């Protein structure tokens, strides 16, 4: 649930949003479950379901029946180790540690839900049983370790722990389940809201499912005068990461500061990967173009072999012949770079018209419902264009150099033989 920030809304809209309990949903959610403007929807907080499932998702047996080895072994060890000394109960530290380690096998059942855990095999305890197990572990933790290798406990600790174990063994399951339902701290009644609008998002740039008034969001989350997070807006969004780092240092470890860049890091990584793959594919296209230019230049040298032979017979040096073909490659490279640059800029300038023509044939390479953009965005970066043009000219020069060297060192007699 994302509370709506109503500070930017006109007063009328703000009153309407708060008073009539309206909600704005995403287009993806509306499409998936068939919602439209004017429909009524009922919203329930996930925390309510967690509270209820924690009570429902329990085994039919007692914990003692699920883990008899642990309980019986611990009970037997407990009966042997305690003795009374000076109004206190004591036991050897090694024996207490050994008993504690036996009972500690149930610790995952107390501190977390052990679904899929190897030791507990995903079997849950009832809340009442977890409370008793935790109480026993806490009593064993309150120990006064003194010299001589003995641990001292308050008088009556052994009897209290044995009573707790007896309570676990003879637990009334029906009564414990009913008590667990009564102890649910809070259960927020579902809120019925009317869909005021549907905002556009996409599979590629998915947004929050719902925008609701902050007061209703606080009610659903069970918050009273509290918030879960605070949002800050800075003038330059690209300085958000640096701002977050500095703010984290100022606030300390009690706060967690996260920038929008870090929040959407996976999405940015996906875009970065796509750019790398696109550059990888375009590099092969560029190399293929260079080989094509090389093939054209080689064809020219074959066609001009008689002229090359005449030039060499008249005293032309190999460097002069190489220079002729290199200049030709330079002209092709510069002309191609200028032509390609102009054609690319025109395609960017009129990209929407080109896309409309392509859509006329029933092909839409950039569907708005997937990308979440009504028009194809484009940014012209002059430095990148300059680098690409320079690289293209250099490749043309290298493509012309190899055929030029082959022509320069060819035997003039063989070139003139068929003249």
- pLDDT at residue 357 tops 80: yes
Count Cβ atoms below 10 Å from residue 373 Cβ, excluding itself.
14
pLDDT of amino acid 118: 34
Domain definitions of the chain by residue range: 54-182, 231-263, 266-416
Tell me the average pLDDT across 332-347.
90
pLDDT of amino acid 362: 83
- pLDDT at residue 12 tops 70: no
- pLDDT at residue 241 tops 70: yes
Assign 185 a pLDDT band (cuts: 50, 70, 90): low
* Cα distance between residue 366 and residue 371, in whole Å: 7
Collapsed DSSP state (helix, strand, coil) of residue 215? helix
- pLDDT at residue 8 tops 50: no
Collapsed DSSP state (helix, strand, coil) of residue 277? helix
pLDDT of amino acid 404: 81
pTM value is 0.47
Check: CB of residue 68 under 8 Å from CB of residue 26: no
What secondary structure does DSSP assign to 94-126, as a single string? HHHHHHHHHHGGGHHHHHS--TT-TTTTTPPPP
| CA atoms within a 13 Å half-sphere pointing along the CA-CB vector of 174 | 0
Tell me the average pLDDT across 182-206.
75
Assign 11 a pLDDT band (cuts: 50, 70, 90): very low
Model confidence over 79-133: pLDDT tens digits? 888 777 777 788 887 887 888 788 777 766 665 544 433 333 334 677 788 888 8
Nearest to residue 344, comparing CAs of 308, 389, 407? 389
- pLDDT at residue 3 tops 60: no
Question: How does the average pLDDT of the chain come out, rounded?
Answer: 78
Eight-class DSSP state of 365: S
């Amino acid at each position: 649930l994302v509370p709506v920030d109503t500070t930017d809304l006109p007063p009328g809209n703000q009153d309407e949003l708060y008073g009539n309990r309206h909600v704005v949903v995403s287009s993806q959610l509306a499409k998936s479950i068939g919602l439209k403007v004017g429909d009524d929807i009922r919203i329930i907080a996930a925390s309510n379901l967690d509270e209820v499932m924690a009570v429902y998702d329990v085994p039919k047996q007692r914990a003692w029946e699920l883990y008899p080895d642990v309980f019986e072994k611990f009970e037997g060890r407990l009966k042997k180790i305690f003795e009374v000394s000076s109004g206190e109960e004591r036991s050897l530290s090694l024996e207490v540690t050994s008993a504690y380690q036996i009972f500690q096998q149930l610790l995952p059942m107390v501190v977390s839900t052990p679904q899929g855990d190897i030791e507990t095999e995903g079997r849950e305890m009832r809340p009442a049983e977890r409370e008793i197990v935790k109480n026993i572990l806490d009593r064993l933790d309150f120990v006064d370790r003194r010299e001589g290798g003995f641990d001292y406990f308050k008088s009556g600790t052994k009897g209290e722990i044995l009573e707790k174990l007896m309570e676990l063994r003879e637990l009334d399951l029906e009564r414990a389940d009913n008590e667990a339902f009564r102890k649910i701290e809070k259960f927020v009644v579902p809120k019925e809201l009317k869909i005021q609008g549907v905002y556009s998002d996409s599979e590629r740039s998915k947004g929050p499912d719902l925008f609701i008034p902050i007061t209703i969001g606080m009610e659903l989350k069970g918050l009273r005068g509290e918030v879960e997070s605070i949002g800050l807006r800075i003038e330059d969004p690209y300085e958000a990461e640096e701002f977050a780092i500095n703010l984290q240092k100022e606030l300390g470890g009690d706060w967690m500061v996260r920038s929008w860049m870090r929040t959407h890091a996976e999405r940015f990584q996906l875009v970065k990967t796509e750019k790398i793959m696109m550059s990888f594919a375009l590099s092969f296209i560029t190399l293929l173009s260079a080989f094509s230019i090389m093939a054209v230049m080689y064809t020219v040298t074959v066609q001009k072999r008689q002229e090359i032979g005449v030039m060499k017979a008249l005293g032309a040096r190999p460097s002069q012949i190489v220079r002729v073909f290199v200049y030709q490659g330079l002209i092709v490279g510069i002309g191609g770079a200028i032509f390609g640059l102009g054609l690319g800029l025109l395609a960017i300038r009129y990209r929407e018209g080109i896309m409309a023509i392509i859509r006329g044939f029933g092909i839409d390479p950039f569907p708005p419902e997937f990308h979440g953009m009504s028009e194809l965005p484009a940014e012209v970066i002059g430095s990148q264009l300059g680098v690409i043009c320079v690289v293209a000219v250099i490749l043309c020069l290298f493509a012309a150099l190899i055929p030029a060297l082959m022509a320069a060192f060819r035997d003039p007699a063989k070139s003139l033989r068929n003249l």
